[in-house]
């Protein structure tokens, strides 16, 4: 298997050094995903920007967590599905994450509709039926949120694919650890 380094500020390409150094200044441990992404400064920057854009969507942090983990599960990402608290670290988010990981229904019907839509979007590569969209809208979501879910799908897919090719090792104490500092 091709090895991908887990960079530090001292080993990263110049444009990634500043990003990793800044993250290290927060006192939080830099996640291995981010360290792997540092190999390609454009990929690291794109990941950060997409994550920030998704985090600023009208979806609540819990809804963002549902999208991210549902897509990660559909993509069979070993690293992403181990994450909890990327967007919401509440006990409710942990319970929802366990349902997604265990392929059990989410008790909240609205969140379950969001999960089904995110997974359909992923599994069907965006070619969802009008019925999928109508079911999502009927659960109380908006057309704008259809597009926000697509942004979350893009974020989780980027992360999943990087973790697949880099065989990113799971961070110590991963449960409750966010994707970036």
Domain holding 37, by residue range, is 14-53
Number of H helices, E strands in the chain: 8, 0
Whose CA is closest to 33, among 177, 158, 165, 179? 179
Domain end, chosen from 5, 35, 53, is at 53
Mean pLDDT score, 149-177: 88
| 43-76: pLDDT as tens digits | 999 999 999 999 999 999 999 999 999 999 999 9
In this structure, are residues 112 and 105 in contact, taking their beta carbons and an 8 Å threshold? Answer: yes
Distance CA 170, CA 78 (A): 8
Does a structural domain hold residue 2?
no
| 112-146: pLDDT as tens digits | 999 999 999 999 999 999 999 999 999 999 999 99
- pLDDT for position 83: 73
- pLDDT for position 2: 78
* Residue 177 clears pLDDT 60, i.e. is over it: no
CA-CA distances (angstroms) from residue 178 to 45, 78, 136, 155, 171? 17, 15, 27, 14, 11
Residues 63 and 89 in one domain: yes
pLDDT band for position 27 (cuts 50, 70, 90): low
Residues 124 and 149 in one domain: yes
Tell me the CATH number at 94: 1.20.1290.10
CB neighbour class for 68 (10 Å; exposed up to 12, middle 13-18, buried from 19): buried
- pLDDT for position 181: 38
Across the chain, mean pLDDT equals: 90
**What total number of domains does the chain contain?**
2
In this structure, are residues 24 and 118 in contact, taking their beta carbons and an 8 Å threshold? Answer: no
pTM beyond cutoff 0.85: yes
Distance CA 113, CA 140 (A): 9
């Amino acid at each position: 298997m091709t090895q991908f380094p887990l960079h530090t500020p001292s080993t990263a390409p110049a444009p990634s050094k500043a990003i990793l150094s800044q993250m290290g200044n927060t006192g939080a441990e830099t996640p291995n995903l981010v360290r792997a992404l540092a190999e390609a400064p454009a990929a690291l920057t794109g990941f950060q920007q997409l994550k920030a854009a998704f985090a600023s969507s009208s979806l609540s942090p819990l809804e963002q967590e549902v999208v991210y983990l549902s897509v990660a599960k559909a993509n069979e990402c070993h690293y992403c599905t181990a994450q909890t608290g990327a967007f919401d670290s509440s006990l409710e988010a942990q319970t929802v994450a366990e349902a997604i990981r265990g392929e059990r229904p989410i008790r909240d019907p609205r969140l379950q509709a969001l999960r089904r839509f995110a997974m359909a979007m992923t599994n069907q590569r965006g070619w969802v039926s009008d019925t999928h969209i109508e079911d999502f809208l009927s659960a109380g979501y908006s057309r704008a949120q259809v597009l926000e879910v697509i942004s979350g799908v893009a974020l989780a897919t980027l992360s999943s694919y990087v973790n697949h090719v880099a065989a990113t090792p799971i961070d110590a104490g991963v449960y409750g650890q966010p994707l970036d500092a």
